[in-house]
């Protein structure tokens, strides 16, 4: 079973629908995350959110993210989730030009999250903030609009993507399939 951490995005239901194509899921609101709520999961996906981290006190998110990281499970952070992962590991979030369109994502490093995807693929964006790449992470994808489109932890199965694979058609479906395969191999 995959835990979908619901951070309030209207796209979270699309994450749940895609996960359900490959595995069962449980939806957990971000602020309700506890060690017990993560029991029996194979992996965790952290959704986007209608929240700007550059304009919000992120103190309420620190404990749930710490609990998620401490679980040792594979993690995929999407948009807001990607930004929370960056901040947890010592990165920062900054404002950027709004991007709410399709972007060509270019892989710059091999990663199991990108298995079966070409070196360039299209993904839908919906953000106006960007996250830095913490020291514990490798930079794995860029676009013309955003430098840190994707990152991967150097030693743990933790991935962050700025784009929204849940609304990106077949390329997004492949990415979810890859992540769920990583969860079952961990």
**Selected catalytic residue, list 125, 129, 149, 166:** 166
Sheet with 102-107: strands ordered across: 25-29, 2-6, 43-46, 75-78, 158-161, 150-153, 137-142, 102-107, 120-124
> Residue 79 catalytic?
yes
DSSP 57-93: --HHHHHHHHHHHHT---EEEETHHHHHHHHHTT--E
User: How many whole angstroms separate alpha carbon 2 and alpha carbon 10?
Assistant: 19
> Residue 88 catalytic?
no
**Selected catalytic residue, list 82, 125, 164, 183:** 164
Residues 6+ apart with CB under 8 A from 117: 107, 171, 174, 175
**Selected catalytic residue, list 79, 146, 149, 153:** 79
> Residue 164 catalytic?
yes
User: How many whole angstroms separate alpha carbon 143 and alpha carbon 37?
Assistant: 35
**In this structure, what DSSP letter does residue 148 have?**
-
Give catalytic residue positions. 79, 164, 166
């Amino acid at each position: 079973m995959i835990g979908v951490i619901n951070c309030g995005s209207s796209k979270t239901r699309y994450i749940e629908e895609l996960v359900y194509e490959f595995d069962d899921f449980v939806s957990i609101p971000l602020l309700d995350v506890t060690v017990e709520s993560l029991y029996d999961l194979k992996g965790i996906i952290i959704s986007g959110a209608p929240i700007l981290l550059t304009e919000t006190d992120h103190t309420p998110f620190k404990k749930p993210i710490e609990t998620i990281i401490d679980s040792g499970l594979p993690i995929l952070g999407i948009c807001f989730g990607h930004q929370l992962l960056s901040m947890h590991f010592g990165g920062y979030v900054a404002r950027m030009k709004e991007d709410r369109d399709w972007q060509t994502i270019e892989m710059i490093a091999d990663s199991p999250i990108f298995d079966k995807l070409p070196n360039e693929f299209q993904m839908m964006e919906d953000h106006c903030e960007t996250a830095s790449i913490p020291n514990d992470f490798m930079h794995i994808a860029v676009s013309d609009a955003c430098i840190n489109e994707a990152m991967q932890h150097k030693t743990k199965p933790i991935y962050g993507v700025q784009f929204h694979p849940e609304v990106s058609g077949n390329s997004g479906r492949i990415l979810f399939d890859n992540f769920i395969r990583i969860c079952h191999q961990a």
